[in-house]
A and B are shown apart, each in its own frame.
Chain A
């Protein structure tokens, strides 16, 4: 009897839906651009909603909901909660969803002031809240950091989710991977880089291609606070420069309770 049931079960692939909130949809583009591996991904899952590549909608429960973007108004909060209620597993992907990302810069200003600057004098007609990453609104099961996401990591997380295994985001600085790639340190090139404080897992993608680390994957759990002054003095930098660079992606960190974010 068991042998008869197996084929039917195998064909019922997990239903996966992609959603976007406040973001540039660049992470969806990354998924669509995965290349050959996309065929393997589509062999393992059944994509039921994905606005950027298909128009179909789905009205049943999702096995996995993959959320892009940060939550910046009440409407988005309600929509996210509804998706969470329909999903067995929820993955936050991309810096906006994972840590708030560049949308978090909004939180550096007084809310009404920033609303007036964007919407003009009738700003009160437009719903707006301080920017929050997904985990500050609903429970998140898996996180894929990065702006944009590093496709191999998304596939790794997806495989963990499909097998029901926990995924551990590396909690060591980007330098650890950068060194393995034998890049000349950005500081030696006379440029300040956020690698020493930013979570690895991207294989130092930006530095490999001649750019600095912008801190898009978020800060490691226990960043080297005192060490920063040694680095700043060794390379003759200004502390405000590092802080300013950090706030570009990491402003929403202030909303985390005791760094409980994955």
Chain B
């Protein structure tokens, strides 16, 4: 695929052109050092330099609250109609950690039984990535999982070259947009500049915990009874912030709601969290993870052990959101380091 060039002075023109075709969502400053993906109409609203948003872009792929079907009990036999809300959307400025998160969700929801709401909605979303030339802050651990550089998962990918962006085309849709807007092709000097950015990054982005990703499943397997979990359990609030903000946590709960006519209603799902005490509670009063320590351990296993065995990739994207949002100061990097130290 090709490389194109967009001058920074043309970014506003680009966003406005794009927003005529579809809804454009990008990171926007919310104050107090926080950012969120929101709809924008111009480049001026976008925070090009931002730490990971409060919620990752997964909110566009699997909305926090989503209607799946309408049902009607008034006839002799209950009837239902599938429901899908999918607005054609472009996500602009998605960092490589979040691109990796979307790739993880794609794998999970494409598994059988397929999740058609997710898979169909995904088709309506155009993804424009944005490279991080330096760390966003000290919470990130993207180099540990190799997500500091782009590994696909985008239609177009922007890298900042000072006065201009170099755009890598990832898909046919991306190529059509770049060609349609008449963006100039990159010249050899641009490619040299891009290689320079990547070379500089090699020195900046280093494995943040000093332990290889491949060693983590083994370390976790050997730490089932570690005191580290006890310590986390004592500190955890069980608020679910860490899983809600995680780009790869996809667990949800489903519930049917009936309307006041007592005949029609809908089936809805909303994000759930393995950190809630009710999550693993089952009929009969048993709870498979009644203790906070067990639930925290489960979270780490679900990022660094189970998915490495099943999908051959880490389900931690290194974005650092769980540590950033934790009110009780539970740190992902410190926890992994403590486990590795045994």
Contacts and interface: CB of A to CB of B under 8 A. Distances in A.
User: Binding site of B, secondary structure by majority: helix, strand, loop or mixed?
Assistant: loop
B328 A227 contact: yes
B239 A226 contact: no
Interface stretch (A117-125, A133-141, A167-175): A167-175
A189 B32 contact: yes
A187 interface: yes
Contact of A44 (B236, B261, B273): B261
Contacts of B270: 180
A179 B327 contact: no
A231 interface: yes
Nearest to B327: A231
Interface in A170-191: 171-173, 175-176, 179-180, 182-185, 187-189
A222 B258 contact: no
Contact of A188 (B33, B257, B328): B33
Given A180-B64, A226-B234, A227-B236, A172 B329 contact: no
Interface in B45-101: 54-55, 59, 64-65
Contacts of B65: 180
A222 B55 CA distance: 26
A56 interface: no
Interface string A222-261: 1010110011001100000000000000000000000000
A162 B262 contact: yes
Interface in A129-176: 155-156, 159, 162-163, 171-173, 175-176
A163 B257 CA distance: 11
A227 B326 CA distance: 11
A114 interface: no
A158 to B, nearest CB: 8
B288 to A, nearest CB: 16
Nearest to A42: B260
B215 to A, nearest CB: 29
B328 A185 contact: no
B235 A227 contact: yes
A236 to B, nearest CB: 13
Interface residues of A, number: 36
B325 interface: yes
A180 B241 CA distance: 9
A155 B235 contact: no
B260 A226 contact: no
A213 B242 CA distance: 20
A234 B276 contact: no
B239 A222 contact: no
A185 B262 contact: no
Given A163-B262, A189-B32, A175 B235 contact: no
A7 interface: no
Given A179-B54, A180-B271, A234-B329, A172 B240 contact: yes
A171 B278 contact: yes
A37 B260 CA distance: 9
Given A173-B237, A180-B244, A224-B236, 8 more contacts: A43-B260, A172-B240, A176-B240, A176-B276, A179-B241, A185-B327, A226-B234, A227-B327
Interface of B: 30-34, 36, 54-55, 59, 64-65, 234-241, 244-245, 257-262, 270-271, 273, 276-278, 292, 325, 327-329
18 contacts: A37-B260, A40-B260, A40-B261, A173-B238, A175-B237, A176-B276, A182-B36, A184-B31, A184-B54, A185-B325, A188-B33, A222-B238, A226-B234, A226-B235, A227-B234, A227-B328, A230-B327, A234-B329
